[in-house]
Structures are given as C-alpha cells and as structure tokens.
C-alpha cells in the first residue's frame, strides 16, 4: 500500500510498531511534493530536504513523544513556526522569520510532528481564494484551472494530493470549510475558544477566528483536534474542549437534522449545489437520521450586517497600524483596504449594535438546538471557480456586492462561534467536489465528529483522489 494513502493514525501506528520509519515517510513525502507541488502550489517555504531527513533519522532514534512522532506536517502561513518564514502572503512580511512557535504549533511539535514548511494562504487570510503576490495561487487538484478555496486552500490541496495526511488551518469566514469542500477532504471549525489563540493584542473583543484541524478522515481530524485544544491560562476566553477521538466510531442513531436550504431565498446557489446537498441528506436519512427542511430562522441581512461590521472592526484592529504608514499602504490588497477603511470610520455604537445583533442570532440558534441536534448548509454557494479570478462577481445571476458576499453561507455558524464539520458529499457534473457544513451547538464537537465518521464509513467520498498530476 502507498504509505501516503494511509490515514494519519495508521501511519502513526506503523511508526510505533516499527513497520515504517520516519525516514521512509519523509522520503515518500518529499518525493510526492517534488512531483505534485510545482503544479498545485500548496506547500510553500519548504525546508531543506537534507535537514528534514536528518530530523527524521533523529525521530527514528528517539523515544516516541506523541502520536505525531516523526510525521511530516506543514503549518498554514498565517501561524508562526520557529525558524520558518511567516509571510501571511504579503510582500510586507515576505522573508520574516518566526522566532517562536504559536501555541498551536508548539502543541503539534510537542506531539512529535516534524514541521517541513508552510501551506499557502491568501494575503492576510482575506478572501476564500488562495492567491497572493508572494507565493502565487494554489490550484485545485481536481481541476488545475480552478481555485482551491481558502484561506486554508494550501492545506486542503496538500491533503487531497497526499503531500500531507493531517494539516492545521484557521477559520474566520469558512476557511476550514470551503477549501475542505472544494478539495474533497474534511475540515473542522471547532467551538470557539477550545483552540487558544495567541496571548497578544486584544484577547476579549475579536471573537471571530479560530484555528482547527483538516484531514482525510474524521478520526484523524479528531486526533489532531485533541492535540490542538486545551485551555491556555494566558487566554481569558479559552475553554477546555472535550476530547473527541475517544468514541469516534460510536455511530449516532436517530439524530434530528435541520436542513436550512437557501435560507428562504437569501442565499443564491449555483446549479447543482442544492441537488447534491439534498442527495447527501437523503443518504443521511438512510443512516437512520430524521431530516427536516426549515424556513429561514433569522434575518439573513441582519446576520450579514453584524458580520461585516465585526469583521471590519477586527481587521482594522490588526492591519490598521500598517495602513496608517503611507509607505506600506500600497502593499495592501483591495480587500484589506476595504475592510480597514470601513473599520476606521466605525463608531462605538456601530460595534455595540453589531454585537447585539450577533447576540440575538445566538439566542435564536440556541432555541433551534432544543429541537435539532445538527443544522446543515452547503460549504460553498458555488463550485470551484476560475483560478485567475479575484472573486466571483455573480452567483446564480445575482451580483455580489463585496469581495466575500459569495461565502455568506458560512457566516451564520462562524459569527456565533459554533462548531462545524465539513463533510465531502460527492462530485458535480464537471467532476468538482462539494461539501456540507454540519453545524452543532457549542461544545458538540465530539458529536459532530461521530456523525462525520459515520458518514465517512458509509460513503468513503474522500477516498476518491484527484486525477494524476503530471510532473512539472
């Protein structure tokens, strides 16, 4: 069996038994990267091969430090990994070498992972399409002329092509969900606060983004999530997430699943998105779950307005100091400028109103979960688009009035910090993948992963790998 087709936990077990060496795994990984990455452009800032082989040999000679011992992993290029560049896709930071690991990266390293490089991301992670002026665009391995999504597009494409078996990502606006759906893998936005962010800058107000896991199976994703989660005393809003790998194979029975459809017509979908989603829901019904179609549960425009204002508030807090330096401002892409300039003119009452609207939606969602275990939406409103586009300007004939309106479908869960798992649901007429968001109440991470694992066992969609990619 191709060792790169093995699940991460199977690789880990083979390493522990001595049936596989870390050096063999590293050699196979580097060979796959050499063959595939020039065309896909998912892995960036790859470290020296000789040094990586030395670290693999050292792992073979050392006692096991965790389940990731000796396994290659690449870190999304928004997070710091000591000794590697953190460009964030921006010319302003290209070549900047991280002096220390971020919390999440340190946890992966402590579990034994060998960090081989970074995965590509949009500039500053803005926009769900992975391209930037430092590393270029990441291409979808199922069609190299299409987008891999984002902002964890590099991670998702690397998983789909076997360059990685597990990967980290981060999600403010669908960045662990859209690229997972478009690359036929699993991605999870965990309950907000279970994976602590960095103890720097504001730690109270900007509750939108979180790190999370990606993999080719829910069980691998659970193992990685369990490594990433855990309270950090330096983060006032971090919480202790429940362990999710234990019981992952306990298939749930008779779940109440609410299908939110197109949110009462508020969300335009390209042809085929509704159909493939409803076909997947019919399969979930065959597994013993009860599916019910729901009317729009809340004002979609109010959710969108709250989201846009809170996102601009967060972005200006992060990038505003760069914008105020006139020599650096020209290096910011239009999406960043749009967010910053909105944020700069906002008043305190705007932020308060947006937070109150978010709170209203949270209360309504909490009431929904008294009747339903899981809510479902597509992971994207359209199929992977042309890689040369900046963003889709129309979806199903409807004009998109912002650079990110086409991803509105991911906002209801992300705005209020709910856990979400993307599951692959098959392929459209053009052979492109699609996914579904399984959304649960706060703290239901383990339950969502058990449903995803049941789905994976019943369908096996992620076993359908991309067509062979010719060496460049």
pLDDT means per 10 residues, the chain with 472 residues, are: 94 98 98 98 98 98 98 98 98 97 98 98 97 98 98 98 98 98 98 96 92 98 98 95 96 98 98 98 98 98 98 97 97 98 98 98 98 98 98 98 98 98 98 98 98 98 91 54
Candidate list 12, 76, 170, 277, residue with the active-site label: 76
- Type and span of the H or E element at 106: helix 103-110
Candidate list 12, 45, 151, 462, residue with the active-site label: 151
Strands 374-378 and 290-293: unpaired
- Level-2 CATH architecture, domain 3-463: Alpha-Beta Complex (3.90)
Distance separating alpha carbons of residues 259 and 293, to the nearest angstrom: 5
Give the closest residue to 267 by CA, choosing from 411, 385, 159.
411
Can you give the pLDDT at residue 118? 98
How far from each other are the two terminal CA atoms of the chain, in whole angstroms? 25
With b for 16 or more beta-carbon neighbours within 10 A and e for fewer, the 448-472 pattern comes to bbbbbbbbbeebebbeeebeebeee
Distance separating alpha carbons of residues 180 and 189, to the nearest angstrom: 11
CA dihedral 446, 111, 178, 451 (to 10 degrees): -20
Strand, coil or helix: 333: coil
Can you give the pLDDT at residue 61? 98
Can you give the pLDDT at residue 114? 98
C-alpha distances in Å from residue 62, one per residue of 21, 59, 107, 111, 112: 12, 5, 18, 13, 10
CB < 8 Å & 24+ apart, contacts of 295-299: 295/264, 296/260, 296/263, 296/264, 296/265, 296/266, 297/260, 297/364, 297/365, 297/368, 298/360, 298/361, 298/364, 298/365, 298/412
Can you give the pLDDT at residue 206? 85
Can you give the pLDDT at residue 90? 98
Calculate helix-pair angle for 22-40, 49-61, nearest 10 degrees. Answer: 150
Candidate list 152, 175, 217, 462, residue with the active-site label: 175
**What string of DSSP letters covers 22-41?**
HHHHHHHHHHHHHHHHHHH-
Strands 210-215 and 166-171: antiparallel
Verify whether residue 175 is a known catalytic residue.
Answer: yes
Can you give the pLDDT at residue 469? 87
CB atoms within 10 A of CB 315: 24
| CA 346 to mean position of chain CA atoms | 29
Handedness of CA 53, 57, 58, 63 (dihedral sign): positive
Q: CB within 8 A of 429, min separation 6: which ones?
A: 272
């Amino acid at each position: 069996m191709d060792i790169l087709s093995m699940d991460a936990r199977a690789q880990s077990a083979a390493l522990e038994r001595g049936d596989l060496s870390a050096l063999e795994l590293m050699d196979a990984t580097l060979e796959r990267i050499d063959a595939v990455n020039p065309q896909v452009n998912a892995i960036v800032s790859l470290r020296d091969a000789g040094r990586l082989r030395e670290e693999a040999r050292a792992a073979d000679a050392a006692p096991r430090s965790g389940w990731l011992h000796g396994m290659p992993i690449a870190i999304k290029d928004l997070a710091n990994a000591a000794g590697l560049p953190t460009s964030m896709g921006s010319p302003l930071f290209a070549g900047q070498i991280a002096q220390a690991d971020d919390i999440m990266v340190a946890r992966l390293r402590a579990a034994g992972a060998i960090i081989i490089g970074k995965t590509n991301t949009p500039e500053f992670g803005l926009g769900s399409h992975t391209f930037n002026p430092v590393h270029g665009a990441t291409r979808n391995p199922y069609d190299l002329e299409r987008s891999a999504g984002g902002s964890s597009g590099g991670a998702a494409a690397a998983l789909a092509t076997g360059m990685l078996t597990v990967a980290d990502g981060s999600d403010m606006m669908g960045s662990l969900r859209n690229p997972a759906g478009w690359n036929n893998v699993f991605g999870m936005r965990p309950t907000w606060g279970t994976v602590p962010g960095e103890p720097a800058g504001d730690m109270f107000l900007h509750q939108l983004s979180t790190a999370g896991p990606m993999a080719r199976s829910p069980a691998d994703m659970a193992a990685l999530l369990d490594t990433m989660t855990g309270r950090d005393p330096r983060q006032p809003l971090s919480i202790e997430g429940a362990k999710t790998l234990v019981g992952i194979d306990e298939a749930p029975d008779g779940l109440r699943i609410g299908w939110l459809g197109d949110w009462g017509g508020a969300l335009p979908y390209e042809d085929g998105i509704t159909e493939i989603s409803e076909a997947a829901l019919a399969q979930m019904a065959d597994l013993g779950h009860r599916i019910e179609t729901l009317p729009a549960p809340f004002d979609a425009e109010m959710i969108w307005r709250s989201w846009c204002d809170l996102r601009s508030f967060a972005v200006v807090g992060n990038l505003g100091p760069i914008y105020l330096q006139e020599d650096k401002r020209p290096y910011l892409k239009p999406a960043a400028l749009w967010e910053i300039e909105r944020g700069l003119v906002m008043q305190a009452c705007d932020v308060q109103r947006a937070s109150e609207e978010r709170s209203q939606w949270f209360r309504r969602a909490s009431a929904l979960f008294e009747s339903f275990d899981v809510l479902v939406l597509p992971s994207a409103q359209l199929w992977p688009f042309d890689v040369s586009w900046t963003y889709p300007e129309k979806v199903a004939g409807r004009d998109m009035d912002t650079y990110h309106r086409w991803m509105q479908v991911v906002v209801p869960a992300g705005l209020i910090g709910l856990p979400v798992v993307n599951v692959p649901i098959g392929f459209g007429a053009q052979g492109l993948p699609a996914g579904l968001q399984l959304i649960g109440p706060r703290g239901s991470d383990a339950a969502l992963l058990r449903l995803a694992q049941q789905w994976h066992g019943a369908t096996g969609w992620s076993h359908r790998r991309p067509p062979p990619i010719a060496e460049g």
